[in-house]
Chain A
C-alpha cells in the first residue's frame, strides 16, 4: 500500500514538473504583458499534435521534433502577439480576453476536424527501456524523461531570466512597463519575444507529454486552466514559485485520482482553483488591474 502511495506521489511529481513548464510559459506572458492567454493550453496541443504528425521513430527524430515544435510554436506565438494581441492592448475593454478565448476555440475545433480519432499517442521514443523500477516503484521511462526535461528547461529559462541582459529586460517589463519604456527598452519587441518564448514552452511541454498522455482537443481548455492554477498558486514571486506550484498541482491531482474517479479529481482541482482565485488574487489582480 505504501509503495503505491509513493508511486502515485512520484508520478504526480513528475507530471507536476510538466505542468510547471507549461505554467512557466504562461507566467512569462502574464507577468510581462498582463495578458490572460486563454489559448495557452491549446498551444500545448500544437506541440502534441505537431509531434503526432512528425511521428518520430528514433530518439534522434524525437529530439529534433521537440526543437522543431519549439521553433514552430515560437513563430506562431510571435504572429499571434503581433497581429492579434498587440493591436488590442492600447484599447480599453477586454478584447484580448475575447480574442484569446476565440483563438482557443478555433484551435480546439480545427484539431477536432483534422484529427477525428481521439486519444492518439506515440510510443516510447526513449532508448533507455520502457520503465524504471526500484524499491517497489515502477515509473514509465517517458514520464521520468519528461519530468526531468521539464525541470532542466525550467532551470535554463531561469538562468535566462535572472542572469542575462535579455532576462533583466524581461523582468524590468514585468516590474514596471512604464519604467522599462523610460529606460529605452523596446517594449514591443519584448512583448513579441516573450509571447514566442511562452508559446515555445507550451509546445515543448506538449511534445514531452505526448508519449505519456494521449492527445484530444478537449485537453486544450483543461491545460489552460491548469496552467493558470500554476501561475496563480505560484504567485508573482520568482520562477521557482511556478515549479513548486506545478508539483503541488501534479501531486494533488495524482493523489486525488486514487480516492476519486478521474473526472472528479480534476473537478476538485478546478473547484480548488476557484477558491484560490477568490482568496488570493492580490499580487496578481493588482498587477492586472494596473495594466
Chain B
C-alpha cells in the first residue's frame, strides 16, 4: 500500500519535472492556496468580507462552468439556481426556523430538478444553442418577475434574517466573517478537486468535452448525450444553489433584485469566459477578478452604486475583445504564453498527454486530443455520407 503511494508520488514528481508549464502552474496554485488560507490572519474583517464575496463569485462561476464551459451549454438559468439557493435559506430558515444546512439542501434539490428538467425539455425538443441561451434567459426573467410579486419570498421588499443563532450548525456568524470565508474556500476547493477528478476519472466527465465539440459525433461514439447534458445541468445548477445560500446567510438579506436577476446570470457567463471557460482555474480567476476590479474602482472613489456598473462594463468590453480576437481567456492565454516560453527549452509537454490533475489549471479541452479526434471523426462521417468532393 505504501509502496504504491510512493511510486504514484514519484510518478507525479517525474511528470511535473518533465513539464515545466505544469510545474509553474502547480507552484502558482500552491502559493495561491497558502495565501488564501493565510489571508484572514493579515486582514481586517471588512477585507475578509470582501474576500468572501470574491470567493462566492469564483464559486458560482466555477459551478456554471461545469455545464457551460465543459459541456458547452450556455445557460442563463443558473441565476435562477443561485436565487433558489438564497431563497430556500431565506424562506425555510429565516421565516420558518429550519436548519440552514437543510434549507440549503432543499435549494440544491430544487435546482437539480430545475436544471435536469430544463435540459431534458430542451434536448428532447431539439432546441439549439442560441435558443437554449434565449430560453434560459426567458426562464430566469420569468422567475425574477414571479419573485417580485410573490410574498413568500418577500416580493419587492425581500426577506431579512432575524435569527440569533450562531455557529457552524446554524451557518451564521455575526461579528467576524472569517468562518464564512473559510467555509467558502472549503467549498471552492472541494468543488474544484471534485470536478477535476470527475473530468478525468469518470465516463461522464470525460464525455463532456466530446459533447461540447460536436454532439452528433459524440452520440455516434456511444455517449448518451441527452442524459449527460441533463446530468451536467443538474449538477451544475445544484452546486450553484449552494453559493446563493452562502451569500444569503452572509448578507442576511435576499430579494428578487439581489439574488435572482438576469444580470447575475450574464455575469457568471461573461466572468467565466474572461477567465477561460472550459478550464479549472478560469472561472475562479474570472470571479476573483471581478472582486478585484470592484475593489480597485472603490479605491478610485467611484460611487458605490456605479462600482458594479463599471465592473460589468469592463468585463463586457474584455469579453467582446476576447471573442473578437478569437482568444480564449486569461487562463488559456497564460498557459499558451508559458508554453511558448518553455518551448525553446525542449520542455514542452508531448501533445498526446492531456491530464488535469487536482488543483491544476487544466488546458482547454479544445487543444487536447479530444479536438483532433472529434474533427477527424466529423470529416470521416462527412466523407462516408458520400459527398462528392
Interface centre among A87, A102, A222, A270 (most CB of B within 10 A): A102
Interface centre among A106, A222, A263 (most CB of B within 10 A): A263
A279–B148 Cα gap in the complex (Å)? Answer: 27
Interface centre among B127, B130, B263 (most CB of A within 10 A): B130
B128 and A289: CB pair below 8 A?
A: yes
B135 and A277: CB pair below 8 A?
A: yes
A274–B146 Cα gap in the complex (Å)? Answer: 14
B165 to chain A, nearest CB (A): 33
Q: Indicate if A140 sits at the interface (CB-CB under 8 A).
A: no
Q: Which residue of A lies closest to B146 (CB)?
A: A267
B128 and A98: CB pair below 8 A?
A: no
Interface of B toward A, CB cutoff 8 Å: 74, 121-122, 125-131, 133-135, 137-139, 141-146, 148-149, 262-263, 266, 269-270, 273, 305-306, 309-310, 312-313, 315-317, 319-320, 323-324, 326
B324 and A99: CB pair below 8 A?
A: yes
B316 and A222: CB pair below 8 A?
A: no
B145 and A102: CB pair below 8 A?
A: no
B141 and A113: CB pair below 8 A?
A: no
A141–B26 Cα gap in the complex (Å)? Answer: 68
A109 and B313: CB pair below 8 A?
A: yes
Question: Number of A residues contacting the other chain (C-beta, 8 Å)?
Answer: 46
Q: In the assembled complex, which residues on chain B have CB atoms less than 8 Å from the CB atom of A221?
A: 137, 141, 262
A98 and B273: CB pair below 8 A?
A: yes
| A-B residue pairs, 10 tightest by C-beta | A267-B145, A106-B316, A270-B142, A263-B145, A102-B319, A109-B309, A263-B148, A36-B130, A105-B316, A95-B323
Q: Indicate if A112 sits at the interface (CB-CB under 8 A).
A: yes
A271 to chain B, nearest CB (A): 4
Q: Which residue of B lies closest to A222 (CB)?
A: B141
Considering the complex, which residues of chain A in the window 138-190 have a beta carbon less than 8 Å from any beta carbon of chain B? none
Q: In the assembled complex, which residues on chain A have CB atoms less than 8 Å from the CB atom of B317?
A: 102, 106
Q: Number of contacts between A and B (CB, 8 Å)?
A: 143
A93–B340 Cα gap in the complex (Å)? Answer: 25
Q: Which residue of B lies closest to A217 (CB)?
A: B309
A6 to chain B, nearest CB (A): 26
A267 and B309: CB pair below 8 A?
A: no
B127 and A102: CB pair below 8 A?
A: no
B313 and A84: CB pair below 8 A?
A: no
A281 and B310: CB pair below 8 A?
A: no
B126 to chain A, nearest CB (A): 7
Q: A263-B144, A267-B141, A281-B127 are in contact. List 19 more A-B contacts (CB 8 A).
A: A87-B324, A88-B324, A94-B130, A95-B323, A97-B130, A99-B323, A101-B133, A102-B316, A103-B316, A105-B315, A106-B312, A106-B317, A109-B316, A263-B145, A267-B145, A270-B141, A277-B135, A285-B128, A288-B128
Considering the complex, which residues of chain A in the window 44-93 have a beta carbon less than 8 Å from any beta carbon of chain B? 83-84, 87-88, 91
Q: Indicate if A266 sits at the interface (CB-CB under 8 A).
A: yes
Binary flags per residue of A105-123, CB closer than 8 Å to B gives 1, else 0: 1101110110010000000
Q: In the assembled complex, which residues on chain B have CB atoms less than 8 Å from the CB atom of A288?
A: 128, 130-131
A263 and B129: CB pair below 8 A?
A: no
Give 5 pairs: A residue, B residue, CB < 8 Å, sorted on A.
A87-B324, A98-B269, A101-B133, A260-B149, A267-B141
Q: In the assembled complex, which residues on chain A have CB atoms less than 8 Å from the CB atom of B128?
A: 281, 285, 288-289
Q: In the assembled complex, which residues on chain B have CB atoms less than 8 Å from the CB atom of A108?
A: 263, 312
- The one of B146, B149, B305, B323 in contact with A102, judged by C-beta atoms closer than 8 angstroms, is B323
Q: In the assembled complex, which residues on chain A have CB atoms less than 8 Å from the CB atom of B148?
A: 263-264
Q: In the assembled complex, which residues on chain B have CB atoms less than 8 Å from the CB atom of A38?
A: 133
A105–B145 Cα gap in the complex (Å)? Answer: 19
B326 and A91: CB pair below 8 A?
A: yes
Interface of A toward B, CB cutoff 8 Å: 36, 38, 83-84, 87-88, 91, 94-95, 97-99, 101-103, 105-106, 108-110, 112-113, 116, 221-222, 225, 228, 260-261, 263-264, 266-268, 270-271, 273-274, 277-279, 281, 284-285, 288-289
A283–B26 Cα gap in the complex (Å)? Answer: 50
Interface centre among A95, A101, A103, A266 (most CB of B within 10 A): A101
B378 to chain A, nearest CB (A): 11
Q: In the assembled complex, which residues on chain B have CB atoms less than 8 Å from the CB atom of A94?
A: 74, 129-130, 133
Q: In the assembled complex, which residues on chain A have CB atoms less than 8 Å from the CB atom of B145?
A: 263-264, 266-267, 270
Q: In the assembled complex, which residues on chain A have CB atoms less than 8 Å from the CB atom of B134?
A: 36, 225, 228, 277
B325 to chain A, nearest CB (A): 9
Q: Which residue of B lies closest to A91 (CB)?
A: B326
- The one of A103, A109, A278 in contact with B121, judged by C-beta atoms closer than 8 angstroms, is A278
A285 to chain B, nearest CB (A): 5
A87–B312 Cα gap in the complex (Å)? Answer: 24
Q: Which residue of B lies closest to A267 (CB)?
A: B145
B142 and A101: CB pair below 8 A?
A: no
A112 and B74: CB pair below 8 A?
A: no
A192–B47 Cα gap in the complex (Å)? Answer: 49
- Known contacts being A91-B326, A106-B313, is A279 close to B146, with CB within 8 Å? no
B309 and A274: CB pair below 8 A?
A: no
Q: In the assembled complex, which residues on chain A have CB atoms less than 8 Å from the CB atom of B74?
A: 94, 97-98
Q: In the assembled complex, which residues on chain B have CB atoms less than 8 Å from the CB atom of A263?
A: 144-146, 148-149
A106–B315 Cα gap in the complex (Å)? Answer: 8
A267–B324 Cα gap in the complex (Å)? Answer: 34
Q: In the assembled complex, which residues on chain A have CB atoms less than 8 Å from the CB atom of B262?
A: 221
Q: In the assembled complex, which residues on chain A have CB atoms less than 8 Å from the CB atom of B315?
A: 102, 105
Q: In the assembled complex, which residues on chain B have CB atoms less than 8 Å from the CB atom of A113?
A: 306, 309-310, 313
A91–B325 Cα gap in the complex (Å)? Answer: 11
A109 and B310: CB pair below 8 A?
A: yes
B122 and A270: CB pair below 8 A?
A: no
